[in-house]
Chains A and B, each alone.
Chain A
């Protein structure tokens, strides 16, 4: 077996921000005393004039970002996901989403892969909170390489965007230059990426669960099951065309995410499919509980956010489809 390559999505963010700063003097960055963790400090070091560390004032930071955006700035704001979306929810809603302003909320430390810091720092509801806001685009890159693509793409897209990154160094599924298994790809917001074709079940995954989904497909293959694997990096707007096409093809869908099964990718897909093409479905994610502290990979395993968790769910939906059909 080849050794797994890993990288931090937030390192990729920090580097991309610096590059953006060089390209575009209108880019400004705000942070709330977490810049060494979110990696916005890299931007701050190179562009101190355009970097505002406003102290531990997340709510204030969101509204300042809005004010800067009204003056034509492309504003990136960063803090941990749980604070960006929960602590400052009303500010994001009132000052950024309602106003449709050009603010990119790039939050790190999404999901339970935050690990040892525990439930106060786990972000299991951020995707749901951001997804429900009109005007908001919601993006969860699958790895560090995709993160770079996402940051450049959202900088070009007018309006509010939420980008969710994570804490630990996570497995790379892409190769340098945004290639998948040697094949060069073109990143497009809102267009999910069909990574593996299959015919028995569709696995729609986002963020760090995309890697697990690919592993799950390998496990299933050994059992003679052909799984289609899709990286749904943009949760809103959902790539409805691809989701429906794949659901029609396989007749069984599993979603997988490092987030609550309520309101995130699983929620989005269920809402969409039940109105268009209902199929048996299973959601892999945090099952409406606050999770414990622990090493992140052990945590993911403990709560079933793994390749085997996904593979089990896939087998279940396939068998329930058998009954339905």
Chain B
């Protein structure tokens, strides 16, 4: 596959449909691979998948046949437990064969329980211990500035994840160095492991917090493909500041019985649940294999 550089494509209805269709396919794959593995984090993968799809298929400049291409844009999945979403996307793009998703979390597989940049082509940073990805992304963004390169660094954080103090250390550093080549997306699905975010460590007023740390803050519906595309474009126009996009999302999005049902944070569906979920996610035009 040659270099992918789609971002100048206009945001037509056709494009939006195409991306939505892909995201739906990835939703099925996320559930299939986690059920097959018998474990994993489907809830936060489903909330993140629309944004990750838009980033990889439209916004990012990259080359799946040359994952280490120096001038590529980078995407860091700081909330590493959502890696089934990343694996679905990377395999679709040809970073590794699609079949590998069936080996998720198995001994010898290139697909580890959390992202591993050494084992998996296309993974930019090993994550899993929450709170570190934004700092790593800052390192990449600083390197771009040093090398006078124009690549951008995207990083996705969880809303629970930003409980970590390191995130706020990083927030100050990114602002200090005016990293306008850094675009962070916060997957604001309002749940963390033990429940509702505001019940543990209230995050609101969230936008004001990031603004006061020197960031340019934007908000979007993280499941509205057109809005995601438009916001990502707008984010690139910001100068002199890092950008935080708060993506309002729903944990478990796309499957009625998973939405806002936090027991699916870190639990795979049973085969019976999977069957039900796949029915809901069916695509009449698609004859993808099931389960």
Contacts and interface: CB of A to CB of B under 8 A. Distances in A.
Interface stretch (B125-133, B189-197, B268-276): B125-133
Contact of A60 (B117, B118, B173): B173
Given A60-B170, A99-B118, A100-B118, A66 B146 contact: no
B166 interface: yes
B126 A67 contact: no
A94 B135 contact: no
Interface string B6-29: 000000000000000000000000
A320 interface: no
B169 A67 contact: no
Contacts of B186: none
Contact of A94 (B70, B128, B177): B128
A71 B173 contact: no
B142 A52 contact: yes
Nearest to A75: B139
A190 B127 CA distance: 30
B145 to A, nearest CB: 9
A70 B140 contact: yes
Given A59-B169, A64-B173, A67-B135, A73 B126 contact: no
A94 B116 CA distance: 10
B143 interface: yes
A62 B170 CA distance: 11
A151 to B, nearest CB: 21
Nearest to A66: B136
Contact of B129 (A28, A64, A90, A100): A90
Contacts of A290: none
A65 interface: yes
16 contacts: A52-B177, A55-B172, A62-B135, A64-B136, A64-B142, A68-B139, A68-B142, A70-B125, A70-B136, A70-B139, A71-B70, A91-B166, A93-B129, A94-B127, A94-B129, A95-B132
Interface of B: 70, 116-118, 124-129, 131-144, 146-147, 165-166, 169-170, 172-173, 177
Q: Which 4 A-B pairs have the closest CB atoms?
A: A67-B139, A63-B135, A71-B143, A57-B169
